[in-house]
């Protein structure tokens, strides 16, 4: 009886002292002449935590075991411009609370402040990555969390910068609460699946605030994309859920609030598009549902190309846009129904909340400009507004299906 009792106790004690992650130690490192962070990393075991103070400048820092690196106030890791700064090759690594800088700009190597190579469950939290070529670069990573980082490229050398948060062949990533500025693309996804992007702010980037390529079953929500060179682009991907984002002030001939190119089965709901040259461009897409979005004060609210099919536009609100809709052909295989259009001047005699006559969002001038872009100089001229009015009353150019049969009398929300 006594023997049976003692053995489990002994086993538990042994486990407590020598086994399990419960034994993880915390080391503290202060940069100075007495030792290197590299040496301390070599002494640390799996699951240990190292707190760091001061400026660490030891060239490329390889993290090859599962440890947690925590920067105390103003701790810096400076790569010194030799190449990458931190390279992670082990699972379960955390990098938190550092200022990281000193990547080398290169045409040949994708140098990053934090490069994650083929490993799982990396956490990158609360760092400031300043003037880096690539800032955070995840390659072949699973289940990474990148949150609350401030990623600021170099404003002066912006066209030298690469992407802020770059994911390549990853899955299950969470990108949350980061701010990204002055990079090429703020957030870039290529071959990334089952991942989320939430509550980030991406602005003043040279190309796109967010860029999807060949990435599927991902979602992004509650982000702000503002003043990026060309807005946001979602290309060659399927099953992307896009909701509650704001697309603001993306202006220029090839700038879009949101550019959709060859996207299938996407959801675009509850977003706000304000002050963009083109708020939403739909090119070669199938089965996109666009619902409850606000289009405010854009050049074109919607450019829907004839190669799009089975897309539905419902319960959206169009307010103060120069053009509500533009298209490039006669074909219309999409459904536009029950939206609010501020230009609609019909009546609702049966008081069901829907106008009694259809609204035709495609003006004559919108069609003309799509064919002859330089005709834009006549925008807002008397002749154009007369022709526009005529086209709405007696439609002769616009595709017959290009109309909303149940235009709402009031904005559907807000």
List interacting residues with another protein (CB under 8 A).
Answer: 107-108, 110, 159, 184, 206-208, 213-214, 229-230, 233, 235, 252-254, 259, 261, 283
Say if strands 267-269 and 241-243 run parallel, antiparallel, or are unpaired: parallel
Could you tell me if 246 and 272 are in contact, meaning their C-beta atoms sit under 8 angstroms apart? yes
Cα separation, 182 vs 159, whole angstroms: 9
Q: What is the 3-state secondary structure (H, E, C) of 335-392?
A: EEECCEECCCCCCCCCCCCECCCCECCCCHHHHHHHHCHHHHHHCCCHHHHHHHHHHH
Nearer to another protein, 97 or 229 (CB): 229
In the complex, minimum distance from the CB of residue 23 to another protein, in angstroms, rounded to a whole number: 42
Residue 213: CB minimum distance to another protein, A: 8
Q: Which is nearer to another protein, 108 or 349 (CB)?
A: 108
Residue placing its CB nearer to another protein in the complex, 144 or 259: 259
Give CB contacts under 8 A, 24+ apart, made by 350-357: 353/408, 353/409, 353/410, 354/406, 354/407, 354/408, 354/409, 355/406, 355/407, 355/408, 355/409
User: Please, what is the minimum distance in Å from the beta carbon of residue 307 to another protein?
Assistant: 12
Q: Between 268 and 315, name the residue whose CB sits nearer to another protein.
A: 268
Alpha carbon of 187 to those of 197, 205, 303, 353: distances in Å?
9, 10, 24, 41
Question: What's the rounded Cα separation, in Å, for the pair 314 and 296?
Answer: 16
Query: How many other C-beta atoms can be found within 10 angstroms of the C-beta atom of residue 36?
Result: 16
Q: Which is nearer to another protein, 281 or 315 (CB)?
A: 281
What is the DSSP secondary structure assignment for residue 394, as one 8-state letter?
A: S
| Cβ distance to another protein smaller for residue 253 or 414 | 253
Residue 186 or 358: the one with the smaller Cβ distance to another protein is: 186
Nearer of residues 31 and 206 to another protein, judged by Cβ: 206
Select 19 or 252, whichever has its Cβ closest to another protein: 252
State in angstroms the smallest separation of the CB of 144 from another protein.
20
Interstrand relation of 61-63 and 174-176 (parallel, antiparallel or unpaired): unpaired
CB of 260 to another protein, least distance (A): 10
Question: CA torsion angle for 386, 387, 390, 392 (degrees, to 10)?
Answer: -110
Q: How far is the CB of 107 from another protein (least distance, A)?
A: 6
Find, among 90, 73, 79, the residue nearest to 37 by Cα.
79
Give the single-character DSSP code of 332.
Answer: -
| Nearest distance from C-beta of residue 165 to another protein, angstroms | 17
Least distance between another protein and beta carbon 255 (Å): 8
Please answer whether residues 181 and 157 qualify as being in contact, where contact means their C-beta atoms are separated by less than 8 angstroms.
no
Q: Rounded to the nearest whole angstrom, what is the least distance from the CB of residue 256 to another protein in the complex?
A: 9
* Cα 284 to Cα 273: distance, rounded to the nearest angstrom: 21
């Amino acid at each position: 009886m006594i023997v049976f009792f003692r053995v489990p106790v002994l086993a538990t004690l042994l486990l407590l002292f020598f086994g399990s992650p419960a034994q993880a130690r915390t080391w503290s490192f202060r940069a100075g002449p007495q030792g290197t962070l590299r040496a301390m990393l070599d002494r640390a075991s799996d699951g240990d935590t190292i707190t760091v103070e001061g400026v660490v400048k030891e060239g490329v820092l390889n993290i090859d075991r599962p440890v947690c690196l925590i920067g105390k106030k103003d701790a810096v890791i400076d790569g010194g411009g030799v190449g990458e700064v931190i390279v992670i090759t082990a699972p379960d690594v955390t990098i938190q609370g550092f200022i990281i800088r000193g990547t080398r700009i290169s045409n040949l190597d994708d140098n990053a402040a934090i490069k994650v190579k083929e490993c799982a469950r990396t956490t990158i939290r609360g760092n400031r990555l300043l003037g880096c070529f690539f800032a955070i670069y995840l390659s072949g990573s699973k289940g990474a969390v990148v949150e609350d980082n401030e990623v600021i490229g170099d404003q002066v050398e912006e066209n030298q910068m690469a992407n802020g948060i770059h994911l390549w062949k990853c899955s299950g990533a969470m990108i949350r609460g980061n701010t990204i500025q002055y990079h090429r693309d703020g957030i870039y996804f290529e071959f990334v699946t089952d991942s989320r992007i939430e509550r980030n702010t991406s602005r003043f980037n040279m190309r796109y605030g967010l860029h999807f390529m060949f990435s599927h079953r991902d979602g992004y929500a509650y982000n702000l994309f503002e003043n990026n060179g060309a807005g946001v682009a979602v290309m060659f991907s399927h099953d992307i859920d896009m909701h509650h984002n704001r697309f603001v002030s993306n202006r220029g001939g090839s700038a879009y609030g949101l550019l959709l190119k060859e996207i299938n089965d996407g959801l675009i709901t509850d977003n706000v598009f304000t002050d963009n040259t083109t708020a939403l461009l739909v090119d070669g897409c199938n089965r996109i549902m666009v619902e409850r979005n606000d289009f405010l004060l854009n050049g074109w609210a919607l450019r829907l190309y004839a190669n799009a099919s089975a897309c539905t536009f419902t319960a959206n609100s169009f307010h103060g846009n120069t053009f509500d809709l533009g298209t490039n052909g006669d074909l219309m295989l999409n459904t536009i129904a029950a939206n609010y259009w501020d230009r609609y001047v019909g009546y609702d005699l049966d008081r069901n909340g829907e106008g009694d006559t259809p609204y035709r969002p495609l003006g004559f001038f919108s069609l003309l400009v799509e064919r002859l872009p330089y005709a834009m100089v006549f925008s807002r001229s008397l002749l154009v507004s007369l022709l526009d009015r005529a086209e709405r009353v007696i439609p002769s150019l616009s595709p017959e299906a290009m109309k909303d049969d149940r235009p709402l009398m009031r904005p559907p929300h807000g």
